[in-house]
Amino acid sequence: MRTAVDIWLQGSSKASFWTSFVAETARAQVDRSIQMFIQGTVLPQLEKLTSRNRGIHGFVMPPSWLSPDIQPPWIGKKRWETLPLESLEYVFQHGDLAAHNLIINPQTLQVMTVIDWEYAGCFPPGMEKWLGTLDLDIYIKRGNQLARPIAEFLAVEYLECYNKWGDKPELDKLIERGELPYPDQLRRSAGRDE
């Protein structure tokens, strides 16, 4: 049985921090602190946690940069498969590292904790899509031009959904715009000519 627990943490998220603390030097210090925390602490520690299995205990949440409940061909996909490997190649990832998921101590301007781990799990290295910036516009745009990350990280799932999707002209438009990969290329690279 999976359960979620809400806890209250004293502090501010970086996203809400700017409205209450506006000094430019403090903003720069918070950004540096966050960058150092993510690059120097969070990512290296998570990368040490490895697994043969995707997700957490067989449950796989789609990545935060993909919106499967509203994007063709993913709409209606109920289960994301786990793909066991021979070796421990999957690394643990937060899944949604962003300013709104960090709690900042307003006195020290240091990161206190990372919150919202609902997208966490073990996935191929790089699937985290940490952009190295806390810019909200860049965070939002990470959901654009997904053909490469889908091909790299979700090829099997994509081909399964593509094959089941009835409106192929709709998918062809998304493929031409670079939002989805070409299925024939994925099949050839996987040796699965269907």
Q: What pLDDT, in 10s, does the model give residues 134-190? A: 777 877 777 677 888 888 888 888 898 899 888 899 999 989 888 889 999 999 887
Domains (ranges, CATH) in the chain?
Answer: 12-52+87-144 (1.10.510)
pTM for the full predicted model: 0.71
Q: What's the length of the chain?
A: 194
pLDDT band at 13 (very low <50, low <70, confident <90, very high): low
Phi-psi region of 144 (alpha: psi -120 to 50; beta: other; left: phi over 0): beta
Query: How far lies 29's CA from each of 21, 35, 77, 177, in Å?
Result: 12, 10, 43, 39
